[in-house]
Amino acid sequence: MIEQLLTNTLLSILQNLYGQDIPRKLVQLQKTRPEFEGDLTIVVFPLLRISRKSPEQTAEELGKKLVEQLGEVDAFNVIKGFLNLVIADGYWLDFFKASWNEQFFGFVEPAQSAPMVVEFSSPNTNKPLHLGHVRNNLLGESVSEIRKAAGRKVIKVNLVNDRGIHICKSMLAWQKWGKGQTPETEKVKGDKLVGDYYVKFDREYKKEIELLIAEGKTKDEAAQQAPLLLEAKQMLKLWEEGDEGVRQLWAKMNGWVYEGFDVTYKRMGIGFDKTYYESDTYLLGKTIVEEGLEKGVFFRKEDGSVWCDLSEDGLDEKLLLRADGTSVYMTQDLGTAQLRYDDFHPSDLIYVVGNEQNYHFEVLKLVLKKTGRAWAENIHHLSYGMVELPDGKMKSREGTVVDADDLMDEMFATAKRTTEELGKFDDFTPEESAHLYHILSQGALKYFILKVDPKKNMTFNPEESIDFNGHTGPFVQYTHARIKSILRKAADAGGQTGDVDMAGFQPEAKEKSLLRLLHEYPQAIQQAAETMSPALLANFVYVLAKEYNQFYHELPIIKEPDSCKRNFRLGLSAFVGNTIRSAMGLLGIDVPERM
């Protein structure tokens, strides 16, 4: 690519001109700002301590040498400390010839190295997946696919939180008030049925707290002494002791939930290479805790609970086992991390989890390192912000969450209504229409979430996400369909897509603008992979689609009388269409062939 060629040549020029080798990082290349002539800009300021000249003099010297030594550099101009380079038409046309029909343009062959493990989703089996899980799933899936495209081997894993006090709350509520209900008898998904009982537990638990407070208990005393909570704690203890009745109930209700999850995952296009279960990993976590006690890096308090003192690391004491011997989240995460290391010996362990767990993963890393596990240094927390709706936050236990299935239903209905209002799809069969609504609704949902930097909190607006003229998935999808329509019409008319005699051919400004953007695609993949931010790729493909639509409106394509120009524009259209499909695919979004 031109960036690498420029950097290498510039380093050689600097050495010859000023007699010094300089670090590669001092060569700063960036896109030329639109108000100036040029394609790429070299920032001269970091080089002044070597040249010992003014920014303008240094830039002028370097510009002349680059034009002399590189046929790819056609001209230059200097704006203060910035050297703007005009890349020759021949370079862009050679790039087009080499890449326009390349199936995996921008992708890198996977390296023969240790894999990286990406954990995402991590649902609890006491409730359905909700809007927060949607962002988690979409981030995890997209980051995994982007890193694969960047040349990394990736293992996608899910950790199902299938045990613990929250699970027992749903179980206990169903036992008390379920009256034998099943997903079949109620005609609902199993995860929804179980989630209803989690909400039921919380409502009844709050009633008990109010009664105890009325009897003179403090709020904290009432919360700890409420009979329902005590029963749930006892159920958890029986579960850990292997009580047959509790285990059978647990297996039955979890089975309902798994069937419901599978339906949601399939609809969302999410898949995993391996699924771990907390019920299988917490015992290994307990073993690590015992090991830490023996080594003296953990300590036991008088009540029998086990802790790790992290005060020397600027943190506090962290609970690892409760006084009654039951495990906590940290216990199972210790076991799961060890199991993953044993399974894959990964280069990185990446956890896609909301930013409210930043402290948890800082502790996990420290605790594992204190037990002598050097590989804990490779733990990375992909922390993301919360998702809200225009009317505010959600709370699972109060039943105010936005269910993922309900959200996807709403998105489907919105896509259907919006497309029917446009009135362009009357020739579609009912099956084709349903498929299109599914693609559009999923594209709207995924794009709206993934275009936001993961670290930022966001508000999801279903109506805004489906706008065909906004910064949305459907806008990009419509652009792809437009390109496919052009190519079909051209093929019917006998057009020769991409068959161009480049001798003496000069691309128009809009054509060069598109080529420059397409040229950036491999770098956009690498940057998105490095930063684990699909937003970079989402915004790239939006800019590409917007630029193509301007090109489409300014220049004739099929009606262009010059066959060389016509074929080039058809090839350029195909190149853009393929890149849109590729980039949207890395975001987990399908694009329609026609709309």
Give per-residue pLDDT as tens, 501-530. 777 789 999 999 999 999 999 999 999 999
Summary mean pLDDT of the chain: 93
pLDDT at 425: 66
Specify which residues 31 forms β-bridges with.
Answer: 40
pLDDT at 426: 66
What is the rounded CA–CA span in Å between residue 481 and residue 590?
11
Burial tier of 76 (Cβ tally within 10 Å: 0-12, 13-18, 19+): buried
Question: Most distant CA pair in the chain: distance in Å?
Answer: 93
**Dihedral angle sign, alpha carbons of residues 213, 215, 216, 221:** negative
pLDDT at 423 over 80: no
Cβ neighbors of 8 (< 8 A, separation 6 or more) are none
What is the rounded CA–CA span in Å between residue 29 and residue 178?
65
pLDDT at 395 over 70: no
Q: Are 48 and 63 in contact (CB under 8 A)?
A: no
**What Cα–Cα distance (Å) separates residue 485 from each residue in 88, 515, 583?**
32, 21, 20
pLDDT at 501: 74
pLDDT at 497: 74
Which domains are delineated in the chain?
A: 2-87 (3.30.1360.70), 120-388 (3.40.50.620), 410-586 (1.10.730.10)
Cα-based angle 265, 271, 272 (whole degrees, multiple of 5): 125
Helix (H) or strand (E) holding 306: strand 306-309
Q: Retrieve residue 511's tokens.
A: 């054509």
Range among 337-351, 378-392, 395-409, 424-438 with highest mean pLDDT value: 337-351
Q: Taking residues 73-85, report their average pLDDT.
A: 94
Predicted confidence (pLDDT) per residue in 206-245, tens digit:
999 999 999 999 999 999 999 999 999 999 999 989 999 9
Percentage of the residues of the chain whose pLDDT score is greater than 90: 83
pLDDT at 282: 85
pLDDT at 309 over 90: yes
Residue with tokens 């590989």, as numbered in its chain: 375
Confidence at 398, pLDDT banded by 50, 70, 90? very low
Q: Retrieve residue 317's tokens.
A: 């004491």
Residue 402 DSSP code: -
Residue with tokens 């700063």, as numbered in its chain: 28
What is the rounded CA–CA span in Å between residue 145 and residue 139?
10
Confidence at 436, pLDDT banded by 50, 70, 90? very high
User: Within 13 Å and on the Cβ side, how many CA atoms surround 210?
Assistant: 6
Listing from the earlier edge strand, what are the strands of the sheet with 116-119?
Answer: 274-277, 154-160, 116-119, 348-354, 379-384
| Closest C-alpha to 545, from 556, 555, 534, 537 | 537
- Taken as a whole, the chain contains a residue count of 595
For 88-226, where are the alpha helices, taking DSSP H only? Answer: 89-99, 131-149, 165-177, 183-186, 190-214, 219-225
Predicted confidence (pLDDT) per residue in 473-497, tens digit:
999 999 999 999 999 999 988 777 7
Residue 182 DSSP code: -
Distance of CA 261 to the CA centre of its chain: 20
Q: Retrieve residue 327's tokens.
A: 């495990």
Cβ neighbors of 97 (< 8 A, separation 6 or more) are 500, 502
Pick the range with the lowest mean pLDDT from 139-148, 293-302, 460-469.
460-469
| Closest C-alpha to 133, from 455, 332, 474, 394 | 394
Residue type (1 letter), 487: L
Q: Retrieve residue 370's tokens.
A: 């204190």
Global model pTM greater than 0.85? yes
First to last CA, the chain: 35
What is the rounded CA–CA span in Å between residue 277 and residue 160?
5
pLDDT at 281 over 90: no
In angstroms, what is the C-alpha Rg of the chain?
A: 29
Residue 472 phi, psi dihedral angles, 5° rounding: -135, 165
Confidence at 397, pLDDT banded by 50, 70, 90? very low
Confidence at 86, pLDDT banded by 50, 70, 90? very high
The two beta strands, 154-160 and 274-277, are parallel
What is the rounded CA–CA span in Å between residue 461 and residue 137?
18
Provide the 3-class DSSP secondary structure of residue 27: coil
What is the rounded CA–CA span in Å between residue 253 and residue 38?
64
pLDDT at 461: 87
Confidence at 111, pLDDT banded by 50, 70, 90? confident
pLDDT at 428: 85
What is the rounded CA–CA span in Å between residue 58 and residue 43?
11
Q: Taking residues 168-182, report their average pLDDT.
A: 97
**What Cα–Cα distance (Å) separates residue 475 from each residue in 323, 470, 569, 592?**
56, 6, 21, 12
Predicted confidence (pLDDT) per residue in 116-133, tens digit:
999 999 999 999 999 889
Burial tier of 480 (Cβ tally within 10 Å: 0-12, 13-18, 19+): buried
pLDDT at 300: 96
Residue 102 DSSP code: -
What is the rounded CA–CA span in Å between residue 293 and residue 370?
11
Provide the 3-class DSSP secondary structure of residue 263: helix
What is the rounded CA–CA span in Å between residue 97 and residue 556?
21
Q: Taking residues 46-57, report their average pLDDT.
A: 92
Predicted confidence (pLDDT) per residue in 178-212, tens digit:
999 999 999 999 999 999 999 999 999 999 999 99
| Closest C-alpha to 450, from 52, 138, 49 | 138
Q: Taking residues 322-339, report their average pLDDT.
A: 90
pLDDT at 146 over 80: yes
**What Cα–Cα distance (Å) separates residue 542 from each residue in 189, 229, 465, 545?**
36, 51, 13, 5
Q: Phi-psi bin for 35: left (phi > 0), alpha (psi -120 to 50), beta?
A: alpha
pLDDT at 538 over 90: yes
